[in-house]
Structure 1
Amino acid sequence: MKLWSFYKKISSMPATNVRPFLTFEINNLLQLCNNSKSIDQTKQTHQQIITHGQTHNPFFITKLIQLYAEHDNINYAHNLFVELPQRNVFAWTAIISYFSRNTLFKECVNTYKEMKLDGILPDGYVFPLVLKICAKFLRLYIGVQVHRDIIVYGVEWNVQVNHSLIDMYSKCGDIQNAKRVFSLMQEKDLLSWNLIISGYVSNELLYLAVETFGLMSKEGCEPDIVTLNTVMDAYCRMGRCDEARKIFVLIKEPSIISWTTLISGYSRIGDHGSALNIFREMIDRREVCPDLDCFSSVLASCQLIGDLKSAKEIHAYGIKLEPPFAFHRSSGPALLTLYAKCGRIQDARHVFELMDRTDVVAWNSMIHGFAELGMKDSTVQYFKEMLTIGIKINETTLSIVLPFCDLKYGKQIHAYVSRNSLWDDVTPVWNALIYMYSKCGCIGNALSVFSHLDHKDIVSWNTIIGGLGMHGLGQDALHLLEKMSHCGVQPNALTFTSVLSACSHSGLVDEGLDIFHRMVEEIGLKPRMEHFTCVVDLLTRAGRLEDATDFIGKMCVQPNKHIWGSVLAAALALQKVSVGVLASENLVELEPENPGHYVTLSNLYTKAGRISDALAVRKLMETKGLVKGFGCSWVVEGN
């Protein structure tokens, strides 16, 4: 209404009276345009300025440039800017601000350089705009040049400029210079502390973040919710979630960021029960509503522990609070994987239909779900459909699919990968090819892929060693283990599992035992159950049952059913009744509900002449109500 009254009044005034009126009131009119945030009213005011011959007034034109730039109408702003006889710092700032706000890096930096060439001195408003876009695009070298200008132009003590420098250096990974700027600040406010603490966390200097938080309190600066959320994040990343929870208690009104930080922290360290409990506590308190990030974090925990009931409840709650498309785009992968893992393939397909069908993550999740269930045909079928409709595959896609391909289709994918230089440095894809060829019986092809691989990681070595073992090439596996060490790649637990398995399948008993002792004594790896299983299998395959039982007696962990099963199989094959009895007794103890173990033990007691013990076992079976199923066979007719 004020603008309309002004236009009406100015239109009715004689021309001789308009000019003085404009001189005194035009600034008020432009201010009203600024307050109204209306591009139409700005254009009307611009028209009045043209009509009444004020286009040469640099003050009015600068205001118009600022208004048009703020309305993102850069064409109008730029046209006025070009015609401005003497461009001032405010006009330059308006144009730079537009480019910075709209993340137009080159335009922003080039305009900043032109401003300096034009002889206009940048001020405390210009520098933060340029530094912000340097931080956004991680252009440290440009940011350093701007920092030099800041010193040259004497603005290094400006608080806002220092904040922008800390932010820029932190985001570009130069935390030392960020710390230097912070240390030289004469006046540090709350934002200063928050920026440096956040910088430490984003650069994984977590202990420094916590230490700086303590220093902040000592210097009398009270933290706010941003500070506390950041320190919580630091503790969570350190795996000290209980410490993070103590910080959480200090927050009077926790935001959804506070809750999500705590939930994702417990999820990250594998304490998924606590993550779910915190989510339920948040819902019960009804102070904040979960957002997409929160749902995604808690559903990731549900997926990792296979908590189908909680996941379904959260799924239902999520689609009530959030638009279904947005919810499934964020949380769909975790939900889909969980449903597939639990055998709920129809639910998984339903989630997939609600996800973004152009998103490779959605397809990867569905394919991974089929792979988890061992549904080879569906895994490959969805991959083919993905290619047919033009979804751009990535390394995850190929790494999931290749292990399920037959030789013919695997070779086709190999040819596709070889033709596209995009995959030259994607080691996981080549590792998957090595595994595919090994599994399909083409160990020569697997070795060829391995030998031509420029960047061999630990997975590459483990995969080819495992493939050699699969084909009974134990000596070759041992040779590669030595070569691996000479290449500076440290073998891990999986490497030794593969080598021990290779020795077992190749009858290399002494070599296998030597490898086991080297792993423990020289490398310093603590043996896992799979290592013990491999050694026992190695000894029993060679018929060295006494050595196997002696080894089991010295194990630092309780032997499992696989170990005793290996001993039993060898004892039955070699007619070693006493060893068979020992293995059967342990299997009955480990799996008391398995009737097969009782029958085997009873038969072995009978062979050993221990008839009373055999009858006692049979009676124990009857008491427990255990019945061994009948064996059966059938013939299916067909072409």
Structure 2
Amino acid sequence: MLSKLTTSLPPHLSLKFLKVYCRSGDLMRARQLFDKIPEPDLPTWTVLISAYSKQGFPKEAIKMYAELRNRSIVPDTLVLLSVAKACAMSADIVKAKEIHENANKFGFRSDLLLGNAMIDMYGKCRYFEGARRVFDDLKVKDVISWTSMCSCYINCGLPREALRALHEMGLNGLTPNSVTLSTILPACSDLKYLNLGREVHGFVIRNGVGDNVFVSSALVDMYASCLSIRQAQLVFDKMAHRDIVSWNVIITAYFSNGECEKALNLFCQMRVEGVKLNYASWNAVIGGCMQSGRTQQAVEILGQMQESGLKPNQITITSILPACTYLESLRGGKEIHGYIFRHWILEDMTATTALVFMYAKCGELELSRSVFNMMPRKDKVAWNTMITANSMHGNGEEALLLFNKMLNSGVQPNSVTFTGVLCGCSHSRLVDEGLSIFHSISRDHAIEPDAEHYSCMVDVLSRGGRLEEAYRFILEMPIEPSAGAWGALLGACRVYKNVNLGRIAAKRLFEIEPHNPGNYILLSNIFVAAKLWGEASETRKLMREKGIRKLPGCSWVQLRNKVHTFVVGDKSNDQSDEIYRFLDDMGEKMRLAGYLPDTDYVLQDLHQEEKEDSLCNHSEKLAVAFGILNLNGESSLKVFKNLRICGDCHNAIKYMAKIVGVQIIVRDALRFHHFKDGFCSCKDFCMLINIGPSTFHRTEQSGCERLTFPSETDREFPWHVPRNKASAKVYDMTCSCSVDIFCREFKNDDAPIFNCGMEPRQSNYVQAVLPTTGVPPITNHSAHSTSQGTSSDLPREISLNMYLKEEVRAMPQFWEAKTF
């Protein structure tokens, strides 16, 4: 019927039928009718192009215009107006420039109506240079021209230019209208120009446009952005008609100001008054709850959103995914991942980047890596997220590898990138690599290092055991050292038992953040580990006098969608008896495997047995025990803790993972620890303890690092490991880090092994075998070693190998220190 009709109708009747189809919204039949017209004229093209543009099909409108030009038809202003609007809708900058060229080519350079449309087009494409060229070509400029130019500047992130254009508009004798005012107020919001915003408000009142809902909503947003919430509420209350935008603005304002309860009350009031909620409303409340730490409430509101018939969009997904990291709900995160996959949101980089971060925070680095690798495009944020994910899991080498891949892909790093890379270097103790990266920030990338970068670099040096160098680095910083820098040094002083530097760092921290309990606890721990009971007591007393209380430690594990929380000595769990029996049995198995409790981490002055009993009550051990008892065939277990894991628990969990044969992942306040087969991904940094740098001096001979006694008076130093201790520690000045001495069973006797995880210039292990008897008087000052040594000819110096592989092995001959 349609084909017969079109072949028999003259062109003017075909145009009428085409208009009928377009007005009714039946664009499919309109296109079919158009295709039947042998030689459609310009008005016919204009009707269909305009219909596509008005009804939200910009790509079809642009495609039709391309067909028109291919037939060498010269467009008029009406066609160019429709296509300009289509380019604005699709933000197609390439086609926008083409339209601009055609307008100039066909003599419409100074056309006011088309010029205003093209300014708006360039504004939507965020290309202010093109908009300015169009604006300057206009011989006559009206209020719409100036308003469109102001809007373009704001869309391009140039609020000051927008205000300058408004000023020029006034100089040209034009008065802003309500659209101009609602357009320019966001510039005051962005710049936090409260006084200028008040002037605009006064202009609004004097000119009687306060009833305009767009102007009022912009005023509410301006006052809220300038932290004048009371004034924002007054404007909102005086609004005769409140649209959904004004509601969303005031609710977001209260969330941004930290007044979560008021925001939620307004949200309830909004629903009671029957306001139809849109995506912006739900996303504002979900995002606000997440920012306020109300993760559970955010999840509940997401459920209400779905019950209302609205499906989560990209913004919703991005807002709610962090809830899975706070609740440690991996199942919830996987459900959201499935939703993203089913609804083709994987193309959205923001949503997929949030997935990468969620999996990493939940301890699933492999899944995080898989999502990242599947991303078709990776922007700067995606690269930064994956680098940070590897850093928090202690994979510094992979963080560096990703950084290099990022550079090779043409993506330029920013400040966040270097923070992530330096954190990875610190967790993996890649000191030289960290120094190289730090120096490249300003040298190769023209980025000025900020306080975060300096703090990370202090952490890199401190974790590598180079405490004196870290201290000098702080003193030479061109900016005021932050709490992060001093805190990194103080934490390393606890690990390496450097009391003097610990005092200095703590003193500065007490000045910067006097109410942070962690600093006092760290200093007290340093004193206790050094047996300085009086100073430790004074530090605790200082805390009490200032009313500072230690944050209670707790650990939790999620099993079958339920979170089980434990505190020290917790017996509230239904399986408490079973948990403590398990720990007792496991303790015996661990002792047989070589574990002995490290009571240095029990800071009370208790008897040895009491200290060992106290260690069994730590929350992370209880959580791990509960998790193992309820594994149900799972090969891995994830435990989370709000504070740093203590050294003894760290050592114990290594043994548990090996004995039970599962991987145990513990996330503490700082990083992830992956325990498997008796090893931890952190390379036992938190286990390092030493007896102070005064024990040994450093000498260099033929490029070989050696440990020597500093003086003859130190000859009586007991090199042997007590029989009732599983391990002891000494300080290695060659690499400024602690060296473990582990007792191993040998055929003839026990031989302790030096095992160091960091070298000054290399990340190789160092080891040497020492006797288990005391050191006799030594008269030979030369360096030597014998294959059949006795107590009378003990070598004066012990040569340490700098090129060993990571696997610790016993020396083949008992008294011999060998270089491999």
TM-score (norm 1): 0.71
Give the corresponding residue for 2:365.
410
Give the corresponding residue for 2:504.
548
Give the corresponding residue for 2:471.
513
Is residue 422 of structure 2 the alignment partner of residue 469 of structure 1?
A: no
Distance 1:429 1:352, change over 3 A: farther
Mapped to 2, the partners of 1:512 and 1:497 lie a distance apart of 10
Secondary structure at the residue paired with 2:140?
coil
Moved more, 255-264 or 543-552: 543-552
8 Å CA contact retained: 2:517, 2:550: no
8 Å CA contact retained: 2:287, 2:298: no
Task: Tell me which amino acid in the other structure corresponds to 2:526.
Answer: A
More helix by share: 1
Is residue 260 of structure 2 the alignment partner of residue 308 of structure 1?
A: yes
Secondary structure at the residue paired with 2:376?
helix
Selected match of 2:47 from 84, 90, 94: 94
Moved more, 228-237 or 500-509: 500-509
Distance 1:179 1:579, change over 3 A: same
- Which string of whole-angstrom CA distances, capped at 9 and with x for unpartnered residues, describes residues 566-625 of structure 1? 4444344446578657745653443268899xxxxxxxxxxxxxxxxxxxxxxxxxxxxx
Selected match of 1:533 from 487, 494, 498: 487
8 Å CA contact retained: 2:442, 2:449: yes
Selected match of 1:504 from 462, 465, 470: 462
Task: Tell me which amino acid in the other structure corresponds to 1:176.
Answer: E
Is residue 111 of structure 2 the alignment partner of residue 154 of structure 1?
A: no
CA RMSD of aligned residues (A): 4.3
Mapped to 1, the partners of 2:508 and 2:225 lie a distance apart of 35
Secondary structure at the residue paired with 2:77?
coil
8 Å CA contact retained: 2:461, 2:467: yes
TM superposition shift of 1:227: 0.7
Give the corresponding residue for 2:193.
240
Mapped to 1, the partners of 2:280 and 2:439 lie a distance apart of 50
Secondary structure at the residue paired with 1:91?
helix
TM superposition shift of 1:550: 9.9
- Which string of whole-angstrom CA distances, capped at 9 and with x for unpartnered residues, describes residues 236-267 of structure 1? 12221342232123223243333433444455
Task: Tell me which amino acid in the other structure corresponds to 1:511.
Answer: E
Distance 1:299 1:526, change over 3 A: farther
- Which string of whole-angstrom CA distances, capped at 9 and with x for unpartnered residues, describes residues 294-352 of structure 1? 44444344444543321321221122333357576443422542575376577456546
Mapped to 1, the partners of 2:315 and 2:28 lie a distance apart of 39
Secondary structure at the residue paired with 2:47?
helix
Give the corresponding residue for 1:129.
82
Is residue 319 of structure 2 the alignment partner of residue 319 of structure 1?
A: no
Secondary structure at the residue paired with 1:223?
coil
Task: Tell me which amino acid in the other structure corresponds to 1:98.
Answer: A
Mapped to 2, the partners of 1:437 and 1:117 lie a distance apart of 53
Q: How many residues align?
A: 539
Task: Tell me which amino acid in the other structure corresponds to 1:504.
Answer: S
Give the corresponding residue for 1:371.
325
- List aligned pairs for 1:51-450, cutoff 5 A: 55-56=9-10, 59=12, 61-74=14-27, 88-105=41-58, 107-109=60-62, 111-112=64-65, 115=68, 121-251=74-204, 252=208, 253-265=210-222, 267-268=224-225, 271=227, 274-275=228-229, 277-291=230-244, 293-320=245-272, 321-323=274-276, 329-337=282-290, 341=294, 344=297, 347=300, 350-351=303-304, 353-354=306-307, 356-372=310-326, 375-376=327-328, 378=329, 380-388=330-338, 390-391=341-342, 392=345, 394-406=351-363, 409-415=364-370, 417-418=372-373, 420=374, 422=376, 425-426=378-379, 428-429=381-382, 431-440=384-393, 443-450=396-403
- Which string of whole-angstrom CA distances, capped at 9 and with x for unpartnered residues, describes residues 56-93 of structure 1? 4x555544444443333446656666677885543332
Mapped to 2, the partners of 1:187 and 1:483 lie a distance apart of 52
Task: Tell me which amino acid in the other structure corresponds to 1:91.
Answer: T
Distance 1:234 1:410, change over 3 A: same
- Which string of whole-angstrom CA distances, capped at 9 and with x for unpartnered residues, describes residues 456-495 of structure 1? 5543432343234335554554344335555425433222
Give the corresponding residue for 2:803.
none
Task: Tell me which amino acid in the other structure corresponds to 2:188.
Answer: Y
TM-score (norm 2): 0.57
Secondary structure at the residue paired with 1:548?
helix
8 Å CA contact retained: 1:171, 1:202: yes
Give the corresponding residue for 1:622.
none
More strand by share: 2
TM superposition shift of 1:178: 2.4
8 Å CA contact retained: 2:220, 2:235: no
8 Å CA contact retained: 2:356, 2:372: no
8 Å CA contact retained: 1:336, 1:369: no
- Which string of whole-angstrom CA distances, capped at 9 and with x for unpartnered residues, describes residues 539-558 of structure 1? 67412169617963996776
Task: Tell me which amino acid in the other structure corresponds to 2:319.
Answer: S
Structure 1: stretches of 5+ with no match in the other structure: 1-42, 597-630
Distance 1:302 1:510, change over 3 A: same
Mapped to 2, the partners of 1:509 and 1:74 lie a distance apart of 73
TM superposition shift of 1:382: 0.6
Mapped to 2, the partners of 1:592 and 1:417 lie a distance apart of 43
